[in-house]
């Protein structure tokens, strides 16, 4: 890790820790000269969420905890809660974390669609993506939001940076943090759960057909968004007359207009989240599992039967394409769950 | 002027001067300690564009020059031309100009719609705007883009900061510069021309009915957008294989997808520009002419007959409301010109 990375990681850990201490490990000490972060040890039985999902372990509080983390950290770092002065100051500071932002940009929005990127595993499905002009148009829109829109302080790499027990959920690895579109964090988490869903058939065996587990994943996807929606809206209502400058109470001054702006904000955020979920899924399926040393998609790699693995991957890729291109047609998370079932 | 203002003004003058030296006065010297800018004197017969418009003077090169200024300064400071690293560095620097950004935000997006703002001139039309929930929903979307989207380095206050002769067009007063949505600059200029159009009947007299002049204004509105569209697209095509990271040639690699992304980009920009034009018009009509010491809308104030002035203002306000709420229905600038004629 370069020094810059440790600085931004500790800064983001402290910021997000203030906003949601229940789900962010405490930082005890940061030494900039030594690039040293002293922080809470996530003791056993905490394990990386991905490992738990592959093992088929249910985490009954996961949706409750992650919706809490997302609602609080995104709401409190946005213009719904803050003044434009504070916002611009912090945006400027996190602009310094450009090196890791570029890495995300490249891996999520460039490499999967680039003809410069060759792979021995390249097959017809991947080729089809690279020839799909309408899909690339959608990717361009998402990339533009990622690069240009400073909506809230994001984790920036939420796909796997979650450690869990049945009672605790802790979000760590914040070195990719920056001000960006909220949907990028929500989408990363939901996209990861969708990938896990499609990988489960490859992990089924005679002792466990994983059918019940797949239902739990779908329920967790649905609950995460619905609880997030509920909590985010509640925070907005609670702080409506506070310092947030996006919707001043002197202007948004009647129940009808308040409902209108909330509905529009959350519908746009829902569609952003679906788009980023799809982009992350495609990135994982096409790029990350080919690179040594970068985050892996163990969900699929750990399926030993190659034919089974290919079937799982193809279904995940097919769904990601639908999600990317047709996300604006979906009005609720339950429609997404139905669409997942239909693949 | 605070010291901060002079610093950002000189920085923006130099930046934009590099990108479009023909239409930005040269900075000879800047002294940060003394907050002193030494720059080109815009010699007579240069006058402020607004004065010329009120006097009914035609500027045959205005659309050509302003489309040039807008296309070059916006294109070259965007991710269509630059790397995300350079972009983030400059966005961070201009985040420091928060004081003047807040002033714009307040005057354009808050005060016209705020019940805290009372005015002896407040009439039913203004009340109707404050009770129009759908209109406020549109204003919220534009304000969010203004505060969150760092698309290009903007002038930030282009309504009147233009000095002209029949042969020369010079853009000055850059102390409001910041990274924001391109449509804010384009809209400020076009909205200003639309306001001037609606004020002309108030300036008509027995020697000049202003009919020919109104046609010239409409033609200038149409030419400004069409020439901008043409020049911006040409710059994009010319620099397609350059350092710009928004649309990498390895991905946007066939004529169809190139056309698709350009069409989407410029359609979105057109609708943004119309929205910001409307927001600026409403701000001028409701707020700026009431405040002593802040930029005035002499176009209307100089109409001495109060009844005539009120009629002109009402028509301008009616058109701004249509533009704000129905801008996405318009597909070309000639449709806008037709709609202006129909008011």
Q: What Rg, from alpha-carbon coordinates, does chain B have? A: 20
User: How far, in Å, are B9, B162, B166, B313 from residue B49 at the CA level?
Assistant: 20, 6, 11, 20
Q: Is the peptide bond before A150 cis (omega within 30 degrees of 0)?
A: no
Q: What is the pLDDT of residues B207-238, one digit of tens each?
A: 999 999 999 999 999 999 999 999 999 999 99
Is residue A4 a part of any domain in this protein? no
Q: What is the pLDDT of residue A298?
A: 84
Q: What is the pLDDT of residue B196?
A: 97
Q: What is the pLDDT of residue A120?
A: 63
Residues sharing a CB contact under 8 Å with residue B169, sequence separation 6 or more, in sequence order = B23, B59, B61, B62, B65, B66, B69, B162, B163
Give mean pLDDT, residues A52-57: 96
> The tokens of A175 are what?
């070195």
Q: What is the pLDDT of residue B1?
A: 54
B144: nearest CB among A95, A246, A256: A246
Residue A342 pLDDT level (bands cut at 50, 70, 90): very high
DSSP A302-337: T---HHHHHHHHHHHHHHHHHHHHHGGG--SHHHHH
Residues sharing a CB contact under 8 Å with residue A14, sequence separation 6 or more, in sequence order = A27, A30
Cα–Cα distance, A149 to A144 (Å, whole number): 8
Q: CB of B181 within 8 A of CB of B146? A: yes
> The tokens of B32 are what?
């940060």
Is residue B35 a part of any domain in this protein? no
Estimate to the nearest angstrom the gap between the alpha carbon of B38 and the chain centroid: 26
With a cut of 90, say whether residue B188 has pLDDT above it: yes
Q: What is the pLDDT of residue B245?
A: 96
Helix or strand or coil: residue B133? helix
Give mean pLDDT, residues B147-169: 95
Q: Which of A109-118, B166-175, B195-204, B325-334 has the weakest average pLDDT?
A: A109-118
Which residues of A, range 174-203, sit inside 8 Å of B by Cβ? none
Q: What is the pLDDT of residue A250?
A: 93
Search chain A and give the residue with CA nearest B143: A246
Is residue A77 a part of any domain in this protein? yes
Q: What Rg, from alpha-carbon coordinates, does chain A have? A: 20
Q: What is the pLDDT of residues A4-32, one digit of tens each?
A: 899 999 999 999 999 999 999 999 999 99
Helix or strand or coil: residue B58? coil
Taking contacts as CB-CB distances below 8 angstroms, the residues of chain A near B264 are 137, 140-141
Q: What is the pLDDT of residues A118-158, one digit of tens each?
A: 666 667 888 899 999 999 999 999 999 999 999 999 999 99
The region, left, alpha or beta by phi > 0 then psi within -120 to 50, assigned to residue B68 is alpha
Looking up tokens 């930082």, which residue turns up? A27
Instruction: Flag if A91 and B92 touch (Cβ within 8 Å).
Output: yes
Backbone angles phi, psi at A59, to 5 degrees: -115, 95
With a cut of 70, say whether residue B288 has pLDDT above it: no
Is residue B2 a part of any domain in this protein? no
Residue A117 pLDDT level (bands cut at 50, 70, 90): confident
Q: Count Cα atoms within 13 angstroms, Cβ side, for A88.
A: 22
Burial class (CB in 10 A: 0-12, 13-18, 19+), B120: exposed
Helix or strand or coil: residue B29? strand
Q: What is the pLDDT of residues B49-88, one digit of tens each?
A: 999 999 999 999 999 999 999 999 999 999 999 999 999 9
Closest of A28, A50, A30 to residue A39, by C-alpha = A28
Strands (E), chain A: 27-31, 36-39, 47-48, 152-154, 162-164, 169-171, 178-180
> The tokens of A288 are what?
């990350």
Give mean pLDDT, residues B116-144: 87
Q: Mind telling me how many Å the CA of A148 is from chain B's nearest CA?
A: 5
Which residues of A, range 117-136, sit inside 8 Å of B by Cβ? 117, 130, 133-134, 136
Angle at the Cα of B331 from the Cα atoms of B325 and B332, rounded to 5 degrees = 110
Is residue A100 a part of any domain in this protein? yes
Residue B160 pLDDT level (bands cut at 50, 70, 90): confident
Instruction: Flag if A143 and B246 touch (Cβ within 8 Å).
Output: yes
Q: What is the pLDDT of residue A126?
A: 87
| Domain total in chain A | 1
With a cut of 70, say whether residue B303 has pLDDT above it: yes
User: How far, in Å, are A63, B16, B306 from residue A164 at the CA level?
Assistant: 12, 51, 71
Judge whether A141 is closer than 8 Å to chain B, CB to CB. yes
Estimate to the nearest angstrom the gap between the alpha carbon of A21 and the chain centroid: 19
Taking contacts as CB-CB distances below 8 angstroms, the residues of chain A near B149 are 148-150
Q: CB of A222 within 8 A of CB of A255? A: no
Residues sharing a CB contact under 8 Å with residue A273, sequence separation 6 or more, in sequence order = A182, A183, A186, A187, A190, A225
What does the mean pLDDT of chain B come to?
94
Residue A296 pLDDT level (bands cut at 50, 70, 90): low
Instruction: Flag if A136 and B257 touch (Cβ within 8 Å).
Output: yes
Q: CB of A273 within 8 A of CB of A224? A: no
Is residue A30 a part of any domain in this protein? no
With a cut of 90, say whether residue B174 has pLDDT above it: yes
Taking contacts as CB-CB distances below 8 angstroms, the residues of chain A near B260 are 133-134, 137
Cα–Cα distance, B198 to B313 (Å, whole number): 7
Instruction: Flag if A149 and B147 touch (Cβ within 8 Å).
Output: no
Residue B286 pLDDT level (bands cut at 50, 70, 90): confident
Cα–Cα distance, B288 to B198 (Å, whole number): 17
Q: Count Cα atoms within 13 angstroms, Cβ side, for B86.
A: 14
- Beta bridge partners of residue A27, listed in sequence order: A39
Residue B301 pLDDT level (bands cut at 50, 70, 90): confident
Is residue B182 a part of any domain in this protein? yes
Judge whether A105 is closer than 8 Å to chain B, CB to CB. yes
Cα–Cα distance, A249 to A204 (Å, whole number): 54
- State the CATH number of the domain containing residue A300: 3.90.1200.10
Select the more confidently predicted residue: A295 or A186.
Answer: A186
Is residue B14 a part of any domain in this protein? no
Cα–Cα distance, B288 to A184 (Å, whole number): 39
Q: What is the pLDDT of residues A235-251, one digit of tens each?
A: 999 999 999 999 999 99
Q: What is the pLDDT of residue B100?
A: 92
What does the mean pLDDT of chain A come to?
94
Closest of B116, B120, B148, B143 to residue B130, by C-alpha = B116
Where would I find the H helices in chain B? 3-19, 49-55, 62-76, 84-94, 98-104, 124-130, 133-148, 183-203, 211-238, 255-286, 298-301, 306-326, 333-342
Q: What is the pLDDT of residue B123?
A: 78
Judge whether B249 is closer than 8 Å to chain A, CB to CB. no
Angle at the Cα of A86 from the Cα atoms of A271 and B2, rounded to 5 degrees = 130
- Going by the DSSP 8-state scheme, the letter that residue B25 receives in this structure is P
Q: Count Cα atoms within 13 angstroms, Cβ side, for B150.
A: 28
Q: What is the pLDDT of residue B291?
A: 56
* Domain hosting residue A188, numbered range: 44-342
Residues sharing a CB contact under 8 Å with residue B4, sequence separation 6 or more, in sequence order = B96, B97, B99
Cα–Cα distance, B221 to B335 (Å, whole number): 12
Q: What is the pLDDT of residues A259-292, one digit of tens each?
A: 999 999 999 999 999 999 999 999 988 886 655 5
Q: What is the pLDDT of residues A56-91, one digit of tens each?
A: 999 999 999 999 999 999 999 999 999 999 999 999
With a cut of 90, say whether residue A335 has pLDDT above it: yes
With a cut of 60, say whether residue B295 has pLDDT above it: no
User: How far, in Å, are A50, B6, B97, B243 from residue B91 at the CA level?
Assistant: 36, 18, 10, 17
With a cut of 90, say whether residue B205 has pLDDT above it: yes
Give mean pLDDT, residues B135-140: 97
């Amino acid at each position: 890790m370069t020094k810059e990375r440790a600085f931004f990681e500790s800064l983001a850990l402290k910021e997000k820790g203030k906003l949601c201490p229940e789900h962010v490990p405490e930082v005890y000490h940061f030494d900039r000269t030594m690039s040293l972060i002293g922080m809470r040890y996530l003791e056993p039985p905490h394990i990386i969420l991905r490992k738990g999902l592959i093992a088929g372990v249910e985490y009954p509080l996961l949706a409750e905890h992650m919706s809490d983390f997302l609602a609080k950290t995104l709401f409190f770092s946005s213009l719904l809660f803050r003044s434009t002065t504070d916002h611009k100051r912090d945006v400027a500071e996190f602009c310094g974390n450009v090196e890791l932002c570029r890495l995300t940009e490249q891996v999520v929005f460039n490499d999967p669609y680039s003809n410069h990127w060759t792979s021995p595993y390249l097959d017809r499905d991947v080729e089809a993506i690279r020839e799909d002009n309408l899909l690339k148009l959608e990717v361009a829109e998402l990339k533009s939001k990622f690069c240009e829109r400073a909506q809230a302080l994001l984790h920036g790499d939420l796909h796997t940076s979650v450690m869990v027990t049945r009672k605790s959920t802790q979000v760590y690895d914040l070195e990719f943090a920056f001000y960006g579109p909220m949907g990028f964090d929500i989408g990363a988490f939901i996209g990861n759960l969708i990938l896990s869903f499609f990988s489960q058939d490859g992990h089924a065996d005679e002792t466990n057909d994983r059918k019940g587990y797949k239902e739990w994943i779908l329920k967790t996807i649905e609950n995460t968004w619905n609880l997030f929606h509920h909590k985010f809206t509640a925070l907005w209502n609670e702080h409506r007359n506070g310092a947030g400058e996006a919707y001043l109470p002197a202007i948004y001054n009647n129940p009808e207009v308040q409902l209108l702006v909330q509905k529009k904000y959350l519908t746009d955020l829902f569609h952003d989240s679906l788009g980023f979920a799809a982009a992350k899924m495609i990135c994982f399926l096409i790029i990350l599992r080919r690179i040594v040393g970068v985050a892996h998609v163990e969900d699929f790699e750990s399926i030993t039967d190659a034919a089974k693995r290919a079937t799982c991957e193809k279904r995940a890729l097919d769904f990601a394409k639908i999600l990317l291109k047709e996300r604006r047609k979906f009005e609720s998370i339950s429609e997404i769950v139905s669409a997942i079932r239909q693949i």
